[in-house]
Amino acid sequence: MKLISTEKLKSGMIVARPIISDAGILLLNSDVILNERLIELIKRRGIPFLYVKDDRIDTDVKPLISPDDTAKAVYVIKKAFDQALQSSLRRSSQMNLELLDDIVSGIVEIISRQNDLIVHLIDIKNADSYTFQHSLQVMTISLMIGKSLDMTKNQLHNLGMGAVLHDIGKVGIPKSILNKEGPLTEEERSIVRQHPRIGFEFLQDCPLVWPTARSVVLQHHEKWDGSGYPRGLAGEDIHIYSRIVTPVNVYDALISKRPYQESMLPHQAYYY
């Protein structure tokens, strides 16, 4: 099994890991033999790369999260974002995140039982939607890091809730700006930079999202040198959860194909 750019896919290659849509629907299962029509579909979905079988590489690690659990997680994350959007339209901050809380708890349990997390680093990146799959990926990698730091399950759960909801404030940003091809204007950048505060305010009345988790939503664009936003925090003034999520957020963005950028391969993003 090997990871390959979709631009290098050829007819006859065999899918090694399934592809799941943002609605939690299985688009392409493992063991499917690719043809030109399927390759074109994969490219149109904006999937930057996927796993294909390769007998020369003796690596066949099962996904960290099963396809069914991944589909369920992506669906629940999408519902949480939809709920946030409806709340913003009603000017209400009431959100029910019990299903999302259960998803985070389940993934914390999975990661807590694993000893070889590094091989799973990019196991769940084969989806055609950016926002919801990105949230799941950022949460999963952040939890891997948290486990390596010997965090307790309660700490991991709070880290996971903050990570999976870090971009929830983007529901308050016009899609025309978020999906714009080409560079943003200074005014548009200023609008985008409001999303951490918007997300933080959305979650203020959610009892399942503790203050430490909300800090991730507010601080995930702060930088160690103080050059980030929205508050220009620096060093240890930034919560440890946020210091974990921030580079993971950047890493996953770099390996994702977006309207304004091509994706990097994971090893390229790692050394970015």
Give the pLDDT confidence of 51-67 residue by residue, as tens digits.
788 876 555 556 677 77
Instruction: Please state the rounded mean pLDDT for residues 213-230.
Output: 97
- For residue 15, the 8-state DSSP code is B
Indicate the length of the chain as a whole number. 272
The architecture that CATH gives domain 2-52 is Alpha-Beta Complex (3.90)
Residue 137 Cα distances to 63, 187, 234, angstroms: 13, 30, 25
Residue 187 has pLDDT above 60, yes or no: yes
Residue ranges per structural domain of the chain: 2-52, 67-270
Q: Which of 113-127, 141-155, 253-267 has the lowest mean pLDDT?
A: 113-127
Residue 8 has pLDDT above 70, yes or no: yes
Q: Which one-letter amino acid corresponds to residue 104?
A: V
**Residue 24: how many other CB atoms lie within 10 Å:** 21
CATH topology for 67-270 is Hypothetical protein af1432 (1.10.3210)
Asked if residues 165 and 80 have their Cβ atoms less than 8 Å apart, the reply is yes
CA-based Rg of the chain, rounded to a whole angstrom? 18
Residue 201 Cα distances to 42, 131, 132, 148, angstroms: 37, 20, 20, 31
